Amino acid sequence: MRLLLQPGIALFLGLLTTSPAVGQDVLDKISHEICPCVGDLNAQTPRDTLTIKLGVCMITGALPYQKELKKKYGVDLERFDGPTGERLGQLVATKLVVNCPGFAELAMRLAQEEDVPPPPTSPSVRTVQGTVQEVTPSQFLTVTVRTDHGPTYEFLLLDHVPNIEQVSQEPGKAKGFYAKWDYEEREFYDPYTRTYKTYRVLRSITP
């Protein structure tokens, strides 16, 4: 028989849902098997570790009763997956609360602590120094700058940036203007090539 760890983790998320109390002996037996394992855990255990260990406790406690579980409740541990884990968790949850002191606290912690997605990362701002070679008015103003270290960069103006009037008011006279150019690299869809391309977007200009 092959058991998967990931469904075992999902299984205890299923324990957090409420199910009607049931009086079948097999569920009492499973809960008593699980209790000693649960007793080794506490609310200070890191959440990810707690979830994994609770899942392992459940699988270990249920294995000796897999035939009864399949016959009475249709829970087939030979085909253990997410829905099977949730179903088993719902069946045993109320028994664990009654038979295992401390389990309710662990379950409440799992219910209350949601994984917080990391904040979206902002593009990092980079800086070069150089001289304007050309300013091209178009749908978006493009400023071509020859940098001090050699390469020529093209910067797109998408938002208002400090000192942009130095190159935008009279584009034809901007050639030779020297400044520090802060920019970020961003990807935009190019409808002509039907691919995403990386562009340098101006963030500020410091003469």
Identify which has the larger pLDDT, 176 or 41.
176
pTM, full prediction: 0.43
Sole residue written with tokens 């990362």: 121
Q: 69: pLDDT confidence band, cut at 50, 70 and 90? A: confident
Identify which has the larger pLDDT, 20 or 204.
204
Whole-number average pLDDT of the chain: 80
Sole residue written with tokens 């961003």: 186
Task: Report pLDDT for 117.
Answer: 60
Separation between Cα atoms, residue 64 and residue 77, nearest integer Å:
10
Identify which has the larger pLDDT, 65 or 147.
147
Kindly state the average pLDDT of the residues 69-96.
79
Domains, the chain:
5-112 (no CATH), 125-206 (2.40.50.140)
Task: Report pLDDT for 133.
Answer: 97
Task: Report pLDDT for 34.
Answer: 85
**DSSP for 21-83, written as a single string:** ----HHHHHHHHHHHHHHHT--TTS-HHHHHHHHHHHHHHHHGGGHHHHHHHH---GGG--HH
How does pLDDT run across 4-55, given as a tens digit for each residue? 434 444 444 444 444 444 444 788 888 888 888 877 777 777 777 877 887 7
Separation between Cα atoms, residue 124 and residue 127, nearest integer Å:
10
Identify which has the larger pLDDT, 14 or 120.
120
Task: Report pLDDT for 36.
Answer: 85
Percent of the chain with pLDDT over 90: 30
